Amino acid sequence: MTVCGCRLRPIDADLIERRVHADAASRDPAAAVEGWTATAAEILASWYVRIEVGGTVDDVWFVPHS
């Protein structure tokens, strides 16, 4: 990220999706079937308040419900 907080390059959305899928698989292997279903957003919403992406694909934070 630059001094202003802007990203220098686009983030690979496919890689972010795979990281989210991997986290879901670690929480509930049955929920992490091949490919996302129509209820995937509902499942993720039940686990997290939000998923934050920083300046790189390594900067992904899963913010759980407190």
Q: What is the mean pLDDT of the chain?
A: 78
pTM for the full predicted model: 0.65
How far apart CA 2 and CA 6 sit, in angstroms, is 5
Percent share of the chain, pLDDT over 90: 5
How far apart CA 12 and CA 56 sit, in angstroms, is 9
Asked if 63 and 51 touch (Cβ cutoff 8 Å), the reply is yes
Asked if 46 and 52 touch (Cβ cutoff 8 Å), the reply is no
Average pLDDT over residues 17-32: 79
Going through the chain in order, the beta strands assigned E by DSSP cover 48-53, 60-64
Domain limits of the chain?
Answer: 13-64
